[in-house]
C-alpha cells in the first residue's frame, strides 16, 4: 500500500479509537463492526474520495460476498484486505455483504470525459453491442441495460471512478485479479485493447447514475458468456 494511504489509515483508526473511548462502551452490532471497512471504503461504504477504494453501498450482496471470498481465498491479491478477512467464516462474510448491499445512498457526480466524441461513441458501441467477431459481449448483457448491475451477483458499472475501473481491468489483464472459473472478465479484459479500455472507462465514469440506481432484478435474456458467480 502507498505510504500516504498507510498514514491515512493509521490516523483514521486512531481517531475512531479516541472517539469510541470518549463516548463509552461500543455497541456490539454488525453496523458498528462494519466501520472497520469504512476506514478505507469511505463513510458508510460510499467509496474513498481518491478513487482507489470502491463503493460497497448498494452493490448486490452476492457480488460483495463473492469478492470477499476471492480476497480471503487468494484469487484477489491485496494484503490489507486478505489479512483483515482471513479468519472470518463464510457466514460472517455473508452478513457483511448483506449489510452493505442494503445501504441506499447517493452516488457521486460523474467525471467529465477528456476523449473526443468519436472515441466515446466507439466505446458506447462496445458497451451496448459488444464485438461478436472477437467474442466480446456487450457490457449491458451482464451488467444490465442501465449498467446498474443485476441481482444477485453482478455489480453496476456506473458511479465508479476511471482510476478504479482502469485498475480492475488492468488487474484482470495481468492476472492479479481472478475469479472462480469460468472467469469471463479475464477473457474480456485481455481481448480489449488498452485504447478501448481507456475509452470505455471514460464513458462509464462520465455517465450519471440513473435516478433508480438499484440493480435490476434479473437479466432479460441469458448472458452470452458463462461467468462464475452468476446464476
- Say yes or no to pLDDT of 230 above 90: no
* 26 vs 112 pLDDT, higher one: 112
| Closest CA relative to residue 209, chosen from 55, 40, 50, 49 | 55
Cα(139)–Cα(148) distance, integer angstroms: 11
pTM: 0.84
Nearest to 213 by CA among 51, 59, 45, 65: 59
How do residues 161-199 score in pLDDT, each as one tens digit?
999 999 999 999 999 998 888 999 999 999 999 999 999
CATH classification of 30-106 is 3.40.1160.10, yes or no? no
Fold observed for domain 117-205: Cytochrome Bc1 Complex; Chain D, domain 2 (1.10.760)
Q: Decide whether 30-106 matches 117-205 in CATH topology.
A: yes
Q: So what's the pLDDT on residue 33?
A: 85
What is the spatial distance between Cα 187 and Cα 170, in angstroms, rounded to a whole number? 12
**What are the boundaries of each domain within the chain?**
30-106, 117-205
Contact 203, 127 (CB under 8 A): yes
29 falls in which pLDDT band (50, 70, 90)?
Answer: confident
**Crossing angle of the two packed helices 194-205 and 117-129, in degrees rounded to 10:** 90
Task: Give 36-78 as a 3 state SS string.
Answer: HHHHHHCHHHCCCCCCCCCCCCCCCHHHHHHHHHHHHCCCECC
Helix/strand/coil for 149: coil
The answer to whether the CB of 63 falls within 8 A of the CB of 153 is: yes
H runs (alpha helix) in 73-149: 79-85, 90-101, 117-129, 140-143
The rounded distance, in Å, linking the Cα atoms of 79 and 71 is 9
Which three cell numbers, joined as nine digits, stand for 140? Answer: 449491458
Look at residue 6 in the predicted model and tell me its pLDDT. 42
Instruction: Calculate mean pLDDT across residues 207-211.
Output: 96
Which grid coordinates are listed for 100?
Answer: 452493505
| CA 64/CA 71 separation, integer angstroms | 11
Amino acid at each position: 500500500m502507498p505510504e500516504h494511504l498507510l498514514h491515512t489509515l493509521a490516523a483514521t483508526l486512531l481517531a475512531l479509537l479516541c472517539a469510541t473511548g470518549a463516548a463509552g462502551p461500543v455497541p456490539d452490532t454488525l453496523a458498528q463492526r462494519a466501520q472497520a471497512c469504512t476506514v478505507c471504503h469511505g463513510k458508510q461504504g460510499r467509496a474513498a474520495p481518491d478513487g482507489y477504494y470502491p463503493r460497497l453501498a448498494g452493490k448486490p450482496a452476492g457480488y460483495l460476498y463473492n469478492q470477499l471470498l476471492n480476497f480471503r481465498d487468494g484469487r484477489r491479491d491485496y494484503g490489507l484486505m486478505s489479512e483483515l478477512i482471513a479468519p472470518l467464516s463464510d457466514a460472517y462474510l455473508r452478513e457483511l455483504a448483506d449489510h452493505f448491499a442494503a445501504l441506499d445512498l447517493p452516488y457521486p457526480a460523474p467525471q467529465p470525459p477528456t476523449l473526443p466524441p468519436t472515441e466515446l461513441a466507439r466505446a458506447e458501441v462496445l458497451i451496448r453491442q459488444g464485438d461478436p467477431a472477437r467474442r466480446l459481449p456487450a457490457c449491458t448483457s451482464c451488467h444490465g441495460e442501465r449498467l446498474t448491475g443485476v441481482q444477485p451477483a453482478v455489480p453496476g458499472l456506473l458511479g465508479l471512478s476511471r482510476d478504479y475501473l482502469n485498475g480492475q481491468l488492468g488487474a484482470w489483464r495481468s492476472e492479479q485479479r481472478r475469479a472462480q472459473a469460468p472467469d469471463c472478465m479475464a477473457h474480456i479484459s485481455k481481448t480489449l485493447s488498452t485504447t478501448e479500455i481507456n475509452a470505455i472507462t471514460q464513458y462509464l465514469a462520465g455517465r450519471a447514475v440513473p435516478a433508480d440506481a438499484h440493480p435490476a432484478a434479473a437479466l432479460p435474456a441469458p448472458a452470452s458468456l458463462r461467468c462464475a458467480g452468476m446464476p
